[in-house]
Homo-oligomer: A and B are copies of this chain.
Amino acid sequence: MQQEKFITTASLDAGEINLIHRYWCAANYLSVGQIYLLDNPLLREPLQAQHIKPRLLGHWGTTPGLNFIYAHLNRVIKARDLDVIYICGPGHGGPGMVANTYLEGIYSEIYPEIAETTDGMRKLFRQFSFPGGIPSHAAPETPGSIHEGGELGYALVHAYGAAFDNPDLIVACVVGDGEAETGPLAASWHSNKFINPARDGAVLPILHLNGYKIANPTLLSRIGDEDLKKLFEGYGYEPLFVEGHEPEVMHRLMAGAMDRAMERIRAIQDRAHGGASPAELPRWPMIVLRSPKGWTGPKEVDGKKVEGFWRAHQVPVSGCRENPDHLKILEDWMRSYDPEDLFTADGGLKPELKALAPEGDRRMGANPHANGGLLRKELKCPPLSDYAVDVPEPGKTVVQTTEILGRYLRDILTLNDAEKNFRIFGPDETESNRLGAVFEVTDRVWMEKIEPYDVHLSPDGRVMEVLSEHLCQGWLEGYLLTGRHGFFSCYEAFIHIIDSMFNQHAKWLKVTRELEWRKPISSLNYLLTSHVWRQDHNGFSHQDPGFVDLVANKKADIVRIYLPPDANTLLWVADHCLKTWDRINVIVAGKQPEPQWLAIEDAAKHCEAGIGIWDWAGNEEDTVSPDVVMACAGDVPTMETLAAVTILREAIPDLKIRVVNVVDLMTLQSKDQHPHGISDEDFDRLFTTERPVIFAYHGYPYLIHRLTYKRTNHQNIHVRGFVEEGTTTTPFDMTVLNQLDRYHLAIEAIERVPGLKEKAGHVVESLRGKLQEHFAYVREHGEDMPEIRDWAWRSGS
């Protein structure tokens, strides 16, 4: 180890080092206590079996390192009056985060029963990983946390999301060397290329090399310092190394690295605020902390190496109730921190240590950025009428639906420009998804070199594009969790890339909604476009509408799924979603030119109900129930359904047809399953109790069955959707391959209406002929038949 690579801080005297060390010991002591103790929190009596929890659940290995970092961040926050939040990538080191926020006092402010007393400490220990208590991770219950870290990989991307548009904030982000092996984390390092020091805050990544995962060394801990340095310089950072295990030396090194990092950040920001346009991307500092896993814990247990090895990962010494030797190891370990030296007789932290923590909102556990709802301002939205597509009669106007939405988003950007609290995210697809109007008022964020022929790139852009759905999702989550607003547009098929991130965010929201002190944050809004029915040029790999199936598994309070069939409904839905909180809204809408159905007033009425009969499309009579219900959800299914209705009305004028369109998929569920579910009476009114329902659905048909299986008429609901038949072909051929096209829908309607097939067999024959004709035509000409391309709705009457 070359000493010259380390930096120390001369200004720190031995007394200050000793205080920091004791603070660290206090956090370590409280961490061990949480994992092990039911009682005897201050070890005022000898440790006995009955003081130990029956189930030892927690992770020690990463915790002392997390506590070490926390103590040193406290020092620089106080010394420099910094605004810092702490993102704990190794979130399973939850005991450390709880311990530190307890030491700061904020824990007891939020949870008064966990007071800064001996009894409070007993409860603090007991509740950890205990039924009715708190989870073992840096969960929503943990003050100061915006990141649970249960599923690894997203710490750094959350950190960057938090830093955007927060010029005074420094986001300290601990990345474990296990987590560093994940894909999303490996890509996240490049987020530094999206930080504009003139308007954003800073991220200070702290790569914590403690050498081991659950049962393996980590890759980065063993590549050698030379490659490590190159790797992070290659990523664009200035890595500052802190390595060792001897506490005093380590405190000096860490203090030095922290000072250097904070000075570098300040220098970069000062230069940018001074108006200097940097000739090159700033080289932000990061810290590489190499310290032993399970540092300060038992060196060996039963003759096996524990400290500095993977055996320290969870509970370093187990069976302490049954095994007196192990109980002794635990007691010696806890006493090695000298609790009498740390806590007063009544269980409070000694005043000289208490004085080390920052105060008020400067405490990382109390920083409002980590409870973003506190800072959230309502998004200003323009009136929808300004963007409404004129629809004098249904089906005659053809527009690119998402293009209209782009104009609306453009003006949201303008209206909220002063607040700097709205960004648009997408994997290189904003233009491709036809939201290009936003580039009339903003650009893509670009901090690297800009060529003269480049378009819509600027350091001040508010559109975040990178070819990584993980980064888009993670940045947006970090941005929302710190109280801002955003919008994520994505190719429908590839949103599956972030399935697991969606899961974790939904879980986070589910828990935060149960915590009164966590204030609501803006909803996470997805626009899924370039969807399954119009990926005819990219083919099968780009055709997957299954994300909503995953979404529908989540708690009903959290999720909404919208399938607006045209531009005005899309406008209403997007506007609605942007005004909601603590939810995940999924909007699926196409980007290709499509017929428009509803004028804006009708769109609003239809969307508010979420589901409804389109009187103008059907021909039922008031007095009796229709012969068949043609239901549809999604833009392409709606068009095919209306085309099928045209066919049926022209061919069989006395067939009484009802058209039902579904915008809000959750209306289909029972009211007891989802707050948007309509009542059984309303459902029966819409879908009848006995007539055949031909349901054309955007995605996998099973979801409709899953949502409606409790409804009276379920056995007559026949769903057509995507059945995993796709390739590079024409748009209409895609629907034919999956039997969602007008001809199949019309045939099915005829076949399902009792007695009709006998009368209208010739119509079925002629439609089958149409399918043959289509088949031959597209294979000959490479495009859809003119009557398909030029199709327009006619009522047929």
Contacts and interface: CB of A to CB of B under 8 A. Distances in A.
A181 B188 CA distance: 9
B550 A728 contact: no
A16 interface: no
Interface string A413-448: 000000000000000111110000000000010101
Given A216-B465, A233-B230, A432-B214, A131 B729 contact: yes
Interface in A762-797: 778-779, 781-783
A213 interface: yes
B190 A219 contact: yes
A87 to B, nearest CB: 15
Contact of A187 (B182, B223, B552): B182
A511 interface: yes
B232 A234 contact: yes
A470 to B, nearest CB: 4
A318 B525 CA distance: 34
A130 interface: yes
Contacts of A218: 467
Contacts of A182: 183, 187, 467-468, 470
A8 interface: no
A705 interface: yes
B219 A229 contact: no
Nearest to A314: B537
B778 A131 contact: yes
A149 to B, nearest CB: 8
Interface string A580-615: 000000000000000000000000000000000000
Given A234-B229, A539-B150, A705-B706, A503 B219 contact: no
Copies, count:
2
Interface residues of A, number: 124
Contacts of A540: 135, 139, 150, 507, 510-511
Contacts of A222: 448-449
Contact of A236 (B58, B181, B223, B706): B223
A91 B539 CA distance: 12
Interface string A204-230: 000000000111111100111001111
A338 interface: no
Main secondary structure of the interface of A (DSSP, over half): loop
B503 A546 contact: yes
Contacts of A702: 552-553, 706
A246 to B, nearest CB: 20
A656 interface: no
Contact of A549 (B134, B178, B193, B549): B549
Interface in A294-336: 305, 309
Interface in A497-536: 497, 499-500, 503-504, 507, 510-511, 536
A151 interface: yes
B429 A214 contact: yes
Contacts of A83: none
Nearest to A736: B131
A148 B539 CA distance: 11
A182 to B, nearest CB: 5
A55 interface: yes
Interface in A165-188: 178-179, 181-188
A733 interface: yes
A747 to B, nearest CB: 18
A431 B546 CA distance: 33
A135 B726 CA distance: 10
B541 A150 contact: yes
A682 to B, nearest CB: 20
The listed residue with most B CB atoms (<10 A of its CB), out of A431, A471, A728, A778, is A728
A53 B724 contact: no
Contacts of A178: 428, 467
A134 B779 CA distance: 12
A53 B537 CA distance: 13
B778 A219 contact: no
Closest 9 pairs (CB-CB, A-B): A150-B541, A231-B234, A183-B183, A230-B234, A186-B186, A496-B500, A57-B537, A135-B539, A181-B467
6 contacts: A38-B782, A130-B779, A216-B428, A217-B451, A227-B236, A230-B231
